[in-house]
Chain A
Amino acid sequence: MVQYNFKKITVVPSGKDFIDIILSRTQRQTPTVVHKGYAISRLRKFYMRKVKFTQQNFHEKLTAIIDEFPRLDDIHPFYGDLLHVLYNKDHYKLALGQINTARNIIGKIAKDYVKLLKYGDSLYRCKCLKVAALGRMCTVIKRIGPSLAYLEQIRQHMARLPSIDPNTRTILICGYPNVGKSSFINKITRADVDVQPYAFTTKSLFVGHTDYKYLRYQVIDTPGILDRPFEDRNIIEMCSITALAHIRAAVLFFLDISGSCGYSIAQQAALFHSIKALFMNKPLIIVCNKIDLQPLEGLSDDDIKLVMEMKAEASQTVIAQGDEPNDESVFLTMSALTDDGVIAVKNAACERLLNQRVEMKMKSKKINDCLNRFHVAIPKPRDTRERPPCIPQAVLEARAKANVEKEKRKLEKDLENENGGAGVYSANLRKHYILANDEWKEDIMPEILDGHNVYDFVDPDILQRLEELEGEEEGFQLEAEAEEKYFEIDGKELTPEELEALAEIRKKKSLLIQEHRMKKSTAESRPVLPRKFDKDRKFTSERMGRQLSALGLDPTAATNRARCRSVSRRGQKRERSLAREGEDGDAMDIDGEQSSKKLRTRSRSRSKSRSKSQPPGEVTPGEGFRNSSQKLKALKIAKKSVKIRNKTARRGEADRVIPNLKPKHLFSGKRSIGKTSRR
């Protein structure tokens, strides 16, 4: 059967929200841009579209609301009555009716304004019409705002109603408040109903599910009912009355014989009699609860009489059903607190209900179609011997022992708690190690030694292999020594002087290489100067002399010759060779000495400033004159060319002077075009 799903109703927005939603949707999903220069038909269409779109959205949403809320006449009478009890049928119908009218009104507004828009003649007029239309629609919605709020509240409440299937197997529990109905349902199902000592703890219906003979039963817990005339009952009681009235279920009428609920047995009996009309055609069971407080035998006679009356009534229903009156299935005692008789009650109720339902089904017409398709096969017993399950003795003993051990064993958790808790105690994992010798459990083995991993070396026969290795090694060593002896040096050693020479050679070579490298790197930018411009004094005769002597030659002759031919000595007398033998007289020698002294001390610059004494017309080779007469002529021309300039005191080349090294116009100011980054 359809499980009434009130949870699927969409949320009903409040009036303002509703308007916001629809208007923003219109804003987003219709074109927004329009200019007054457009064609009039285009403008009209634009605004008509907006109006229609809004109306359609309103229509859709309101229709959805109306359709989703259940119509009280169309649903199961139980739910119909329940909703009536909770929400007042009239109010509910009115609210929905208002929604409906609002929908129609909005439709009419849209139609009217669309008609008007067809004749709008300017952008402004069309726009005003559209604004008016939307405004009116929104006003309508604003007016039904309270109804929307009411419906939203109903929806929320309905979603929380228990999902009771009115057509399945159901057990109803009823009785006075505080008799123990909720405790009973807590015991037999997984429901968790509030149990408190005050009356009317349970304020609405609660559903639990329980199983019996592989079938699922709904158990409905009702709020307590008081003995009042029907009209005076409040909503909570009406819920239970509704349930009783409409659901075909087994009824468990709870009786508190100890009177601790606050009501005497007489009152409870009175209630029973007043609502016994509702128990027609329903399997009824009287349940006496709280027998731990007051056993049934301890009741007073009047009470017992009342109880027996109730039992008689209950039996009546059984007889009406056609079953034999069985005391056990009509009148039961239990205690919810001590679990005494709870299961028996449940079983009895389920059994009664099942039987009744089966009978009903059998009596109905549909069953005949299915009946010939069933066949329940029951294996015939071979003999009357009992065959219980067979468990070997050893297994039973082992189980017993295991149980004992489990209780006695000390867990790691206990150990941890003893030694300071989780953060303080760290379990000793080593104690479970399986080693050849238990003393080794706490050994700490180093992992690294001398740059090796110890684990890699560990080997049971390492000693043996080590011995072999050492033996090998000795063998190798002897071999090596023997070979060395044979490998003699064939003695061509270099003498120390030769080594010296070699060292010199190498030094010289490296110097050359260095120099070459320097030259190479500066080759492009190094000026190649002739020897006369020698500021480092690299080309002196002394140096030459030194180098020559280093090479093993006698430098005196060479140096002498160099000195004779040097520029500083130009114009001086040739020096007498020092090596000349057979020279007589100290005077010569002294002369020689002196002149050489002069040579040594004389400075170069002095030598240059002393000009050569030559007549002016004498042509020195290299000047470019054919003969001296040409030279004289050239001199004359040169003198003539400067005569007038000198005479007139004009400025000449030698008189050039830069008056202003940094003229202002070149070094300051902006330029009209160009950059000033270079000056």
Chain B
Amino acid sequence: MRLEKCWFCSSTSYPGHGIQFVHNDAKIFRFCRSKCHKNFKMKRNPRKVKWTKSYRRLHGKDMTQNSTFEFERKCNRLERYDRNITENTLKGYLAIKKIDKIRVAREARHHDMRMRGKKAIVRQAAAMELEQSIHLVKAPAALQEDPSFTLRKMKVKISQSQMEDRMEK
């Protein structure tokens, strides 16, 4: 049993899921679900479809080359079974889990790198928007009185007569 990668979105497809399509030249296309399959039938290029891994890799949103990927290579040669090696891989030193952790950490760092200048840009954009659209929530007259970009709580001027009335009552 093998976990395969979907050809379209590159997610793992578990046994019992998805469809495999065998091309006339014996190339096998595996799909994890009908969404990918239908997209393929529509002849869409996964490199142009935003939510696929190949798009993200191509446009630098996700990590492309990394030594953690070297660990997981499909070996076509059959290796003779060796208990020690298998133990190392699986449980004794938890190789797989460690590699996973490292890979995840690296991906997170990549993401951070990508998002690095974003805060400043966002702030600038906010300030611009505030300055330009303040007229929607603050009348120019009020703005002249109070040139700050804030909304003040309005103090309604009750007429003195009304006040006296109330005081009387």
Q: Which residues of A line the B interface, CB within 8 A?
A: 433-437, 440, 443, 445-460, 462-463, 465-466, 469-470, 472-473, 476-477, 480, 487, 489-490, 492-495, 497-498, 500-502, 504-506, 508-509, 548-554, 556, 578-579, 581, 583, 589
Contacts and interface: CB of A to CB of B under 8 A. Distances in A.
13 contacts: A447-B1, A450-B97, A452-B96, A466-B98, A492-B123, A497-B148, A501-B149, A501-B150, A506-B129, A551-B137, A552-B152, A553-B142, A578-B159
A452 B102 contact: no
Given A458-B79, A473-B102, A492 B127 contact: yes
Interchain residue pairs A-B with the least CB separation, the first 6: A552-B142, A497-B150, A551-B139, A504-B137, A456-B72, A505-B133
B28 interface: no
Given A449-B90, A450-B96, A473-B102, A497 B151 contact: yes
A328 B88 CA distance: 87
Given A448-B3, A455-B75, A552-B139, A462 B134 contact: no
B106 interface: yes
Nearest to B138: A552
Contacts of B98: 466, 470
The residue in B97, B99, B152, B162 that gathers the most chain A C-beta atoms within 10 A of its C-beta is B99
B3 A451 contact: yes
Contacts of B99: 457, 466, 469
A473 B105 contact: yes
B95 to A, nearest CB: 5
A497 B152 CA distance: 9
Nearest to B155: A554
Given A494-B123, A505-B134, A589-B161, A552 B154 contact: yes
A446 B2 CA distance: 11
Interface string B102-145: 10011001001000100110010011011001101111011100
A508 B136 contact: yes
B120 A494 contact: no
Contacts of A465: 71
Contact of B141 (A437, A500, A553, A583): A553
A556 B160 CA distance: 13
A451 B81 contact: no
A84 to B, nearest CB: 71
Contact of B1 (A448, A501, A578): A448
The binding surface of chain B is classed by DSSP as helix
Contacts of B34: none
A170 to B, nearest CB: 63
Contact of B89 (A462, A469, A506): A462
Contacts of A443: 81, 83, 86
B42 interface: no
A459 B96 contact: no
A452 B156 contact: no
Among A487, A502, A552, max chain B CB count under 10 A is at A552
Contact of B139 (A460, A472, A553): A553
Contact of B137 (A490, A497, A508): A508
Nearest to B71: A457
Interface residues of B, number: 63
Contact of A578 (B142, B148, B161): B161
B24 interface: no
A504 to B, nearest CB: 5
A242 B32 CA distance: 85
A480 B96 CA distance: 24
- Most interface-central of A493, A501, A506, A550 (chain B CB within 10 A): A501
B156 A463 contact: no
Nearest to B67: A469
A489 B90 contact: no
B89 A454 contact: yes
Contacts of A458: 75, 79, 85-86, 89
Contacts of B160: 581
B71 A462 contact: yes
B85 A450 contact: no
Contacts of A578: 159, 161-162
A579 B159 contact: yes
Contact of B123 (A445, A460, A493, A581): A493
A492 B89 CA distance: 51
Contacts of B51: none
B139 A494 contact: no
Contacts of A477: 105
B157 interface: yes
A453 B3 contact: yes
Nearest to A468: B67
A505 B85 contact: no
A465 to B, nearest CB: 7
A556 B161 CA distance: 14
Nearest to A489: B119
B154 A470 contact: no
A504 B73 CA distance: 54
A141 to B, nearest CB: 63
Contacts of B123: 492-494
A488 to B, nearest CB: 11
B20 interface: no
A552 to B, nearest CB: 3
Interface string B76-95: 00011111011011100101
Contacts of B130: 494, 498, 501-502, 505
